[in-house]
Amino acid sequence: MTITALTEDQQALVETTLDFAQDHLAPHALDWDRDKHFPVDVLRKAAGLGLGGVYVREESGGSGLTRSDGVLVFETLASGCPAIAGYLSIHNMVAWMIDRYGDDAQRERWLPRLCAMEDLASYCLTEPGAGSDAAALTTRAVRDGDGWVLTGVKQFISGAGASQSYVVMARTGGGGPDGVSAFVVDKDDAGVSFGPNERKMGWNAQPTRQVVLDGVRLPADRLLGREGEGFRIAMSGLNGGRLGIAACSLGGARSALDRSLAHLADREAFGQRLLDAQALRFRLADMATELAAARALVAQAAHALDRGDPQAPYLCAMAKRFATDTGYSVADRALQLHGGYGYLSEYGIEKIVRDLRVHQILEGTNEIMRVIVARGLTEAFA
C-alpha cells in the first residue's frame, strides 16, 4: 500500500526513507529482536540521511522538517522495524527539546553530535512510582552553589546505557507540575548508573533500563529552559513524541497488512486462493480502511502542531490513542490471517504484534490520552 497526496519533496523523502528501511532495517529486524541487539551503527547511517535531527533547525545541524514530514518518516521507518523507528522517534524528541528550549551554548554543545547520532539521547520522565501521574515525580534537584545535585531513579528509559545525553525532569520546587525543571545529564557525569536491561515482550532491539541518579552534581548550564518550566517542556516534547509513536504504529501495521496480502495470494484452501475468499477480503478491506482513517487523524494532528494550533495537544492525544490501538488491532488480525504461520517468528508477524503492543502504553498510556481528549471536550462546562 502507498501513501498518497504528498508533495514532491515529501514523496522523495518517503522514497529515500523506504529504501533505507528495506536495505538496512527489514533484513536484520528478526535477528536484532532475537539477539536483543541495538544497532548503533545503523542508527548512524540513518543520521547520514538527516534522520538524527528531523525537527532540529538547519542552523543547529538538523534537517528542519515539519511534523507533517516527520510522521511520514517514522511510518516508513517502522515498516522495516518498529522498535528501531520507535527509538529514533524518542531520540528526535529529545533533540528537538534541546533545540527548542536550549540557549545558543546548549544547542552548540549537544546538537551537532545528536544530529549526527555520534551521541544518542534518551527522555527521562517516568519513575518507579510516577508513570501516568508524571507531575508526582520525586527525583529531586537541589541547588548547590551555582549548580544542582540530582537524586532519584527514572524507569523504563529507552536507550538507557547506550545513550550519552539524557533530558531529565526533576523536582526543584514544591509539589505539582510547577515545581519541575528539566536538565541535560551526561552518561559520564559522576553518580549516573543504570539498571539491568529489562526483559520485555517486544522492542527487544533497543535497551530499556533504569537511570539511577545518585547525587549527580551538575553545573548551572545544564538547566534546560527556566527553573520550574520542566513539566511544560516535557509535555511539549510529548506532543510530537506521541505523533512519532502513532506513525510507527501505522508503519508496523501497514507492513503486517502487506504481508497478509502476499500470504493469502500464495495460499490455497478448498480449491481456491485464500485471497479470493470474500470473508477474508472483507477483513483486509476493514484493516486498510482503519489504517487510512488513523493516518488521516495523525496527519491532521501533525498539521495542527506545525501551525501552532491551541488544539494540537488534544489532537495529538486523539491521534496517538486511535493510531496505536488501530495499529495493534490490524497487526493482531494479520497474525490471524496467517494462521499457524503467523505464530512462527520467522514470518515476522508475531514480532510486529509484540512491538506494537507497547505503543498503547508509552508516551502516555491510551487511558491518559482519553483523559486529555475528555478534558478538551468538557472544559467549557467546568
Helices (H), the chain: 8-20, 29-35, 40-47, 67-78, 82-101, 104-115, 230-266, 278-306, 312-337, 349-357, 366-378
Could you tell me what percent of the chain has a pLDDT over 90? 93
pLDDT at 102: 97
The tens digit of pLDDT for each residue in 258-302 reads 999 999 999 998 999 999 999 999 999 999 999 999 999 999 999
Q: What dihedral do alpha carbons 55, 56, 62, 65 form, nearest 10°?
A: 30
Q: Which of 118, 290, 363, 379 is catalytic?
A: 363
Q: Which of 70-74, 123-127, 179-183, 377-381 shows the lowest per-residue confidence on average (mean pLDDT)? A: 377-381
Q: Give yes or no for residue 133 having a pLDDT over 90.
A: no
Question: CA–CA separation, 149 vs 231, rounded Å?
Answer: 19
Mean pLDDT within 150-167: 98
Average pLDDT over residues 73-78: 98
Tens digit of each residue's pLDDT (9 = 90 or more) over 331-362: 999 999 999 999 999 999 999 999 999 999 99
Residue 136: per-residue pLDDT? 87
pLDDT band at 382 (very low <50, low <70, confident <90, very high): low
Query: If you ran DSSP here, which 8-state letter would residue 25 be given?
Result: I
What's the mean per-residue pLDDT of the chain?
96
Which residues, in sequence order, are bridge partners of residue 192? 213
pLDDT at 135: 79
**Which tens digit of pLDDT belongs to each residue from 19-75?**
999 999 999 999 999 999 999 999 999 999 999 999 999 999 999 999 999 999 999
| Separation CA 95–CA 165 (nearest Å) | 10
Question: Cell numbers at residue 29, please?
Answer: 529486524
**For residue 1, pLDDT beyond 80:** no
* CA 318 from centroid of its chain's CA atoms: 16
Is residue 363 annotated as a catalytic residue, yes or no? Answer: yes
pLDDT for 4: 59
List own/partner pairs for 343-346 with CB under 8 A and 24 or more apart.
Answer: 345/30, 345/34, 346/30
Least confident of 49-63, 179-193, 279-293, 366-380: 366-380
pLDDT score for 132:
79
Mean per-residue pLDDT, 190-194: 98
At 322-331, the pLDDT tens digits run 999 999 999 9
